[in-house]
């Protein structure tokens, strides 16, 4: 697979879900600790055994409330993204789909890049997919309603040949909706025939895309 483009200058990253989860969980924890503080004045007139029982009860309730709050936060995290390629004879679904818009500057068109793997990671999961094309759109979210022609690179496994679009050909991606809640875009894919490095042919009969906007690169 070709290396996807990553630029470090002027990058604006969106906080990873795990960090956001920790931040919200800390707020929740501070809130749910209040019952313990409230219990203390109420048990001062009790025996030591009764006080310990009251404190243990408050701790148990605090843990339960924290777990429930964290689960609620997790449910609101962005989707991991997913793409389905209608291959012949069987469709293939790949998860962890990200999309970013790379600003070239100097009046040149921007680059749309869609990946199913982390270009900076030495390891890679398969199947692996890379799509990239050019657009005059200035932000990723405003791709909704746009059609972008993209080059395609697809590798089924670590040992399989890399299949790609033929020179002068490109797949059409029609972006549909942007979800500010999930920070994601949906799209449909057109039809294209890919040529493998071993001269094999992979036919894509369309597909569906849900891509998470991870960052904007400038």
Report domain extents, the chain: 17-75, 79-217
Average pLDDT for 66-70: 49
First to last CA, the chain: 24
pLDDT of 84 higher than 70: yes
Dist. CA 87–CA 203, nearest whole Å: 6
Residue 83's nearest CA partner among 150, 137, 135, 5 is: 150
Q: Which pLDDT band holds residue 80 (cuts at 50, 70, 90)?
A: confident
Dist. CA 10–CA 123, nearest whole Å: 26
Q: Which of 78-82, 93-97, 146-150 has the lowest mean pLDDT?
A: 78-82
Length of the chain: 218
Write down the mean pLDDT value for the chain.
78
Structure confidence at residue 188 (pLDDT): 98
Higher-pLDDT residue of 214 and 179 is 179
pLDDT of 145 higher than 50: yes
Q: Which pLDDT band holds residue 50 (cuts at 50, 70, 90)?
A: low
Structure confidence at residue 184 (pLDDT): 96
pLDDT of 9 higher than 60: no
| 107-116 confidence digits (pLDDT tens) | 899 999 999 9
| Residue 179 CA: distances (Å) to CA of 10, 17, 115, 140 | 25, 16, 19, 11
Dist. CA 76–CA 81, nearest whole Å: 14
Average pLDDT for 12-16: 37
pLDDT of 131 higher than 90: yes
């Amino acid at each position: 697979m070709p290396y996807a483009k990553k630029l470090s200058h002027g990058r604006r990253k969106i906080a990873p879900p795990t960090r956001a989860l920790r931040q919200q969980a800390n707020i929740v924890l501070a809130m749910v600790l209040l019952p313990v503080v409230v219990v203390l004045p109420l048990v001062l007139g009790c025996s030591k055994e009764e006080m310990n029982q009251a404190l243990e009860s408050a701790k148990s309730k605090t843990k339960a409330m924290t777990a429930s709050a964290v689960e609620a936060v997790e449910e609101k995290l962005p989707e991991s993204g997913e793409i389905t390629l209608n291959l012949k004879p069987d469709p293939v679904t790949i998860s962890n789909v990200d999309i970013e818009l790379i600003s070239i500057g100097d009046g040149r068109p921007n680059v749309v890049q869609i990946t199913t793997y982390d270009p900076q990671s030495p390891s890679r999961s398969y199947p692996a997919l890379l799509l990239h094309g050019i657009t005059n759109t200035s932000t990723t979210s405003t791709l909704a309603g746009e059609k972008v022609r993209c080059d395609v690179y697809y590798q089924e496994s670590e040992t399989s040949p890399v299949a790609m679009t033929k020179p002068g050909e490109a797949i059409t991606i029609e972006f549909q909706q942007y979800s500010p809640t999930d920070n994601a875009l949906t799209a449909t894919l057109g039809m294209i025939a890919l040529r493998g490095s071993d001269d094999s042919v992979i036919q894509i009969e369309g597909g569906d895309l849900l891509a998470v906007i991870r960052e904007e690169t400038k």
